[in-house]
Structure 1
């Protein structure tokens, strides 16, 4: 795990690509006109609260949205990017693996309309997915083979 995930760096929030075998867990955003990207597919995660580290933010958001305890050892890749909502600030993108059993234990929270597994190849090509998240997952996939 990258050391900065436990640092008090200045960042806006964290998004996580939760991989279940060759699929990715996606969440359909609420269809509300007052939020960015209404009714689009995205990844779990959200904004930093207080002085959270990126890891603390990630673990809190995954718990709030999915009822899952995400362990540090589940994290397989991370990178710092410009924030999607504020280009002058930073955000963290994480890739983690969860098991099929963990996926089946999800207790979906009150943010978003639904969640599902989508083949990784479909996610990076699909319409209706937040494009910046597609690009960030592509960065992780460089040099890796994926099957559709």
Structure 2
């Protein structure tokens, strides 16, 4: 996937980490000064200077879950408008992790916790950031073709 190693002006990444038919979601902090407080979302965050899409994603997954991911685990990615700043591009990815990976999760210091939920529930759950539900729906539609 060529996009993974590109360096361009994007604001950050979000990745849907799938373990079988479940997605890892994290609960954002409940602070009034952040976007989408106390809302379920996907792992990811802002790009640090010069990072590629994969470097940004791998760093965020490690910081938030203590997991090291490999590029070959990522199966889909697409550029969208940013969640916080729609005038900037962000990248949405989908990757696969194993049950063993899930057992190795060490939740970081961002957010209130994590859980796994079935993909179908993720797509309907109104406590999840709507744009992320829509992006995951795009992936599901494309994969089911």
Normalising by the residue count of structure 1, what TM-score does the alignment of the two structures yield? 0.95
Task: Give the secondary-structure state (helix, strand or coil) at the position aligned to 1:77.
Answer: strand
2:70 aligned residue: 71
Residue equivalent to 2:79: 80
Q: Does 1:112 align with 2:128?
A: no
The 2-side partners of 1:127 and 1:83 are apart by: 19
The alpha-carbon deviation at position 11 of structure 1 amounts to 0.1
Which residue of 2 is the match for residue 129 of structure 1? 128
Aligned residues: 144
Query: How far off is 1:144 after superposition?
Result: 4.3
Q: Aligned ranges for residues 82-97 of structure 1 at < 5 Å?
A: 82-97=81-96
Point out where structure 2 has 5 or more consecutive residues left out of the alignment. Answer: none
For residues 37-48 of structure 1, the aligned pairs below 5 Å read: 37-48=36-47
1:143 Cα deviation from its structure 2 partner: 4.8
Specify the alignment match of 1:27 in structure 2.
26
Q: Distance in 2 between matches of 1:72 and 1:34?
A: 33
Distance 2:62 2:142 in 1: 31
Structure 1 residues 53 and 128: CA distance shift in structure 2, 3 A: same
Which piece of structure 1 moves more, 93-102 or 83-92?
83-92
Root-mean-square deviation (Å): 0.9
Alpha-carbon distance in structure 2 between the residues aligned to 1:80 and 1:143: 15
**Runs of 4+ off more than 6 Å:** none
